[in-house]
Amino acid sequence: MTPTLHTLAPTPDPDAVLAALGEVLDPELALDILSLGLVYAVQIAGEAVAVEMTLTTPGCPLHGSIAAAVEGRLARVEGVDAVTVTVVWDPPWTPAAMSDAARHALGFS
């Protein structure tokens, strides 16, 4: 009798999740959302990834597009089955959240 093999879905690699987030760009600023400090928290629970993020300004016209891009990109990460993106305004984004490279890219140092 051949035993039935049950393969558990692999838990997503946190580094792969972060790398995927680093590929989502703000098309206006040409910087990724991690460098801009827009991602407040990432929670990986089994195959589900929840992202809490913000945007540089409330009412940004790219609100829906960037959130959808995060969902779409994370859904392609191996082991990810469900993605939840929550855009929050509290705490508001501040320039202090940007990486040095992002500051340099914007001409602000």
* Residues in contact with other proteins by the rule CB under 8 A: 14, 18, 21-32, 34-35, 37, 39-45, 56-62, 64-66, 68-69, 72-73, 95, 97-108
Q: Rounded to an integer, what distance in angstroms lies between the CA atom of residue 83 and that of residue 11?
A: 13
Q: What is the largest CA-CA distance in the chain?
A: 68
- Residue 76 Cβ, how far from other proteins at the closest point, in Å? 9
- Residue 79 Cβ, how far from other proteins at the closest point, in Å? 16
Parallel, antiparallel, or unpaired for β 82-87 and 25-26?
Answer: unpaired
Of residues 90 and 100, the one with the C-beta less far from other proteins: 100
